[in-house]
Structure 1
Amino acid sequence: MSLQDQLLDAMKTAMKARDSLRLATIRGVRTAIKNREIEIGSPLDDEAVISVIATLAKQRREAASAFRDGDRPELAEKEEAELLVLQEFLPAQLDEADLRAMVEETVTALGAAGMKDMGRVMKELTARTKGRADGKLVSDLVRARLAG
C-alpha cells in the first residue's frame, strides 16, 4: 500500500473516531502533497511524499520551539501533537548513536580532514538519512566531528 493510500485510510479512521487534531493534520499533509504534485505536474512517489512529510515535521518542530521560547506552551503542545501524527508516516528515525556512527563512517570514507570538507560530508549523509533524521542534528554532529 502506498503512503498516500495509508494517509487516506488514516484520514477516514480519524473521521470515524472524531479525532479532530489527527484529521486536521492528515488533511494538511494531503493538501501539501497535492500542492507539490501540482507544482511539479506529476504524481508523487513514496520517496517524494516522505520528503513533503519531513518538511512539515521540521516546520512543526521549529514552531513548537518558537512557541516554547515565546511563552505559549498551549500552542507548542498542539504543534508537538501534530508532529507525533506526522512521525507515524515517516520511516523510523535514527537515534543519535546511530547518527554518530554514520558521521564517523562517512568522514573516514571520504577522508574529510576539517571544516572545509563539511559540504561533501553533508551531501553524502543527507542522501543516506533522508526522512530518517533531523538535518540540523546531522549538521551539528558533522560540525562537532570535523572541528574536533
Structure 2
Amino acid sequence: MSLLNELKEAQKDAMRSKDKLSLGTIRMALAAVKQREVDERIELNDTDILQILTKMVKQRQESIAMFVTGNREDLAQIERQEIEVVQRFLPAQLGADEVNAIVDAAIVSTSASSIKDMGKVMGVVKPQLQGRADMGAVSSIIKSKLN
C-alpha cells in the first residue's frame, strides 16, 4: 500500500475511534502533501511523502526546544505526541552502526578522499537513509570521515 493510502486509511481509523490528536496530525500531513502536489502540479510518490513527514518531525522537534526554553511544557508535550503519530508512517530508524556502514560504503563507491567530495557521498547516501536517519547527523558523520 502506498504511503498516501496508508495516511488516508489512518485518517479514517482516527475518525472512527474519535482520536482527535491523531486525526489532526494526519490531516496536517495530508494537507502538506496536497499543498505540494498543487504547487508543483505533480503527483507525489512515497519518497516525496517521506520527505514531507520527515520535515514535519524536524519542525516539531524545533518547536519542542523553543517551548521547553519558554517554560511551556504543556505545548511541548502536544508536539511530542504529534511526533509519535507522524513516526508511525516513517520507516524504522537505523542505528549508528548501520548508518556508519552505509556512509563507509558510499565513500568507497564514490572514491571520496576529501571534504570536497561530500556532495557525491551525500548523493549516494541520501536515497538510502531518507526518513530512516537524521540527515544532519549523517552529514556530520560524513564530514568527520572525510577530514
Unpaired runs of 5+ residues, structure 1, are none
The one-letter code sitting in structure 1 at the alignment partner of 2:88 is E
Please give the TM-score of this superposition, normalised by the length of structure 1.
0.88
- Pair 1:114–1:42, CA change in 2 (3 A): closer
1:1-148 maps to which residues of 2 (within 5 A)? 1-147=1-147
Determine what percentage of the aligned residue pairs are the same residue.
37
Structure 1 moving runs of 4+ over 6 Å = none
Please give the TM-score of this superposition, normalised by the length of structure 2.
0.88
Larger displacement relative to structure 2 (76-85 or 113-122): 113-122
The one-letter code sitting in structure 1 at the alignment partner of 2:60 is R
Q: Distance in 2 between matches of 1:15 and 1:49?
A: 22
Query: How many corresponding residue pairs?
Result: 147
The one-letter code sitting in structure 2 at the alignment partner of 1:73 is E
Per-residue Cα deviation, 1:75-100 (whole angstroms, up to 9, x for no partner): 22221211111111112221221101
- Pair 1:112–1:71, CA change in 2 (3 A): farther
- Pair 1:138–1:80, CA change in 2 (3 A): same
Q: CA offset at residue 22 of structure 1?
A: 0.8
Per-residue Cα deviation, 1:90-117 (whole angstroms, up to 9, x for no partner): 1222122110111122122222222222
Unpaired runs of 5+ residues, structure 2, are none
The one-letter code sitting in structure 2 at the alignment partner of 1:117 is D
Q: Distance in 2 between matches of 1:86 and 1:113?
A: 37
